[in-house]
Amino acid sequence: MRKSPNIIVTGTPGVGKTSHAELLAEKTGLQHLAINKVAEEQNCYDGRDEELQTWIVDEDKLLDALEAEVPAGGYILDWHACDLFPKSWIDLVVVLRCDSTVLYDRLTSRNYSSKKLEENIDAEIMQVILEEAWESYDGEIVIEMQSDSLENIDENVERIQTWFEQWKKDHAE
């Protein structure tokens, strides 16, 4: 049994995962784990996709790297996918959503190639990550939150914080 929950913050690149995770970590004391950094630091790669200009993550290596610490709880997992984490590790899945024109502007300022830009906008419109979350976890722990504005970030983090405090109460001995 965990003394503190694990929360996934997921969604299409640019929806605001890292912005949410950082503020949530500050408010709750949970540890923000940027999974892309873990993959980089522990070299959990299996080659490179030259067309999309991204590293291909070896999910088995990544899970091995996380396994020693994460199941004990207390983490915010910030990653643009969610179906790789074992169900038993996870207490809440937050799927951030963004209006496609807003997301377009955010990704353009990241200098993405037009192919990468288009793929990500399509994925957001098709709600790929939300469906991945529904398929991978029990529906009651999956919540969808809008992330178009800065006010949204504050509201969302406040809601997650309320959930966190309730979780702590429910799991106190």
Q: Which residues are annotated as a binding site for ATP?
A: 14, 16-19, 110
Q: Among ligand ADP, Mn ion, none, what does residue 5 contact (CB within 5–8 Å per kind)? A: none
The SS3 call for residue 52 is coil
Q: Identify the residue among 18, 31, 127, 161 touching ligand ADP (CB under 6 A).
A: 18
Contact status: 13 vs ligand ADP (CB under 6 A) = yes
Count other Cβ atoms within 10 Å, centred on residue 64.
12
Contact status: 39 vs ligand ADP (CB under 6 A) = no
Contact status: 16 vs ligand ADP (CB under 6 A) = yes
In Å, what is the CA distance from 52 to each residue of 6, 56, 113, 116?
A: 30, 10, 8, 6
Listed in sequence order, the DSSP H helices in 12-149 are: 17-28, 35-41, 59-67, 100-108, 114-125, 128-136
Q: Identify the residue among 153, 157, 163, 164 touching ligand ADP (CB under 6 A).
A: 153
Distance from CA of residue 14 to its chain's centroid? 11
For residue 7, how many C-alpha atoms fall within 13 Å in the half-sphere facing its CB?
28
Contact status: 18 vs Mn ion (CB under 5 A) = yes
Say how many residues touch ligand ADP, by CB under 6 A. 15
Contact set with Mn ion (CB under 5 A): 17-18
Contact set with ligand ADP (CB under 6 A): 11, 13-19, 106, 147-150, 152-153
